[in-house]
Copies of this chain bind each other. A is one copy, B any other.
Amino acid sequence: MSQRAVVSATLVDVAKAAGVSLATASRVLSGSPRKVREDLRESVVRAAHELNYTANAQAQAMARGRTDVVGLIVHDIADPYFSSIAAGVMRSAEENQLIVTMSSTMRRPEREVQYLSALRGQRARAVVLAGSRVTDRGLVERLSAELEKFQAIGGRVALISQPRLQVDTVVLENRAGARSLATALHERGYRRFAVLAGPRNLVTARDRLAGFREGLTRAGAPLAPAHVIHGDFTRDGGYSAAEELLAARAEIDCVFAVNDVMAVGAMVALRDHGVRLPTEVGVAGFDDIATLRDVTPALTTVRVPLERLGATAVDLVLDEQQADRPRVRRVRGEVVLRDSTPPRRAG
C-alpha cells in the first residue's frame, strides 16, 4: 500500500507537524535574524529532524532571488595546472559557503561561451574563468558579449589569466617570471637557448616566450628565431617540439619549455635520442607542478602558487566593492633552480 515516497518533506509538512505557521518554521530553519520563542523553535527543529527535512535550495534561491553557486570553467581538469587551481577555488568557496559547479572546455575556447551561458541560466552568483586567453579576435568578442550578459543580471566574474577583458582578473606575471628565469639561466653560464613555445594563439605561452626573450636580450645572448618551436601545451607537445629541435640539429645548451608538462615531454624526447641530461643540455620549465617535482634530473622552473590563484579569484568575486573599473591582482612566480640546469663552465 504505502509506496516509498519519492518526494521529501516540505516546510509545510514541518510546520504542520510542529503546530506552527509556515513563517515560523521558515524563521527557525533558514537562519533568519528574527527571534522565535524557545519552545516553538525546539518543536520545529524536532519535527524537521523527524521528517528528514532539508530545505530545497532551488526554492530558497528563487525566493531569495540569489544563489550560492559559483561556476568554475577550466581548460582541462585532468591537467595538474588546472586541478590545483580548482583545489584553491573549492577551498575558498567552501569557506564562504558556496557551491562550486565545474566544467572543462577540453581546450576548446568556444566552450567557454557555452558554459558561461549555461551558468547564466543557473543564475550563478559568480564565475571563475581559469586558463589562458586566446588571440582570436572573434572569440574574444563573443566571450566579452557573454560576459556582459552574465554581469548584466548581477553575476560577478573573475578571470585567472591575462587582463584582456573588462572584468576582474588575477594576473599571473608570466612575462616577468620568464624574464627572471632567463637571467638566472644566463648567470649559470648557459648561452645558446631554444624555446618550446607552446601554441601560437595562447596568450600565456606568448607571454612566457616574450619574457624569456627579453631576459636573454638584456643579458646579451639573444634568442635565435630558428630556436623557437611551437606545439601543443601538453606532454606530447613538448616531446614533439623537442624532436623537431633535434631534427634541425640546433646547436644549443639549454631548452626552455613554457610549461613543466612540456618540459618533461622534452626531457624524454632528448633522452630517447641519446642526449645526456643535464650535461649536454639543460632543461627548464614553468609552473612547478607538484607531481612533476620528482623527475630526474629535478626540473628547474618558475614556481606558481596555483592554489592561491584559485582562492584569490574567489575572494575577488566575493568582494562586492563595485569598482568603477576592473580590478587586477598580480601574482608573481619565483624562479627555482634545480639539477636540470646545473652551473655550466664557460666555453
Interface residues of A, Cβ cutoff 8 Å to B = 4-8, 52, 54-59, 61-62, 67, 69, 76-80, 83-84, 86-87, 90-91, 94, 99-104, 117-118, 120-123, 149, 152-154, 235, 261, 264-265, 267-268, 289-292, 294-296, 307
Is B267 a contact partner of A294 (Cβ separation < 8 A)?
yes
A121 to B54, CA, bound (A): 6
Evaluate whether A54 and B295 lie within 8 angstroms (CB atoms) in the complex, with A4-B152, A8-B152 already known: no
Is B86 a contact partner of A294 (Cβ separation < 8 A)?
no
Q: Which of B56, B87, B265 has a CB less than 8 Å from the CB of A78?
A: B87
**Residues on B with beta carbons closer than 8 Å to the beta carbon of A83:** 77-80, 83, 86
* Residue among A84, A117, A149, A290 facing the most chain B CB atoms (10 A cut-off): A290
* Residue among A61, A102, A267 facing the most chain B CB atoms (10 A cut-off): A102
**Residues on B with beta carbons closer than 8 Å to the beta carbon of A295:** 294-296
A-B pairs with beta carbons under 8 Å apart, 29 shown = A8-B152, A8-B153, A52-B149, A52-B152, A54-B117, A54-B120, A55-B121, A56-B62, A56-B121, A56-B123, A57-B121, A57-B123, A58-B122, A78-B80, A79-B83, A80-B291, A83-B83, A90-B102, A99-B122, A102-B102, A235-B294, A261-B291, A265-B294, A267-B294, A268-B294, A291-B291, A291-B292, A295-B295, A296-B296
A258 to B163, CA, bound (A): 44
**Residues on B with beta carbons closer than 8 Å to the beta carbon of A122:** 57-58, 99
Is A291 a contact partner of B289 (Cβ separation < 8 A)?
yes
A268 to B291, CA, bound (A): 12
Q: Which of B55, B76, B118 has a CB less than 8 Å from the CB of A99?
A: B118
* Residue among A6, A76, A78, A267 facing the most chain B CB atoms (10 A cut-off): A78
A4 to B6, CA, bound (A): 43
A78 to B296, CA, bound (A): 22
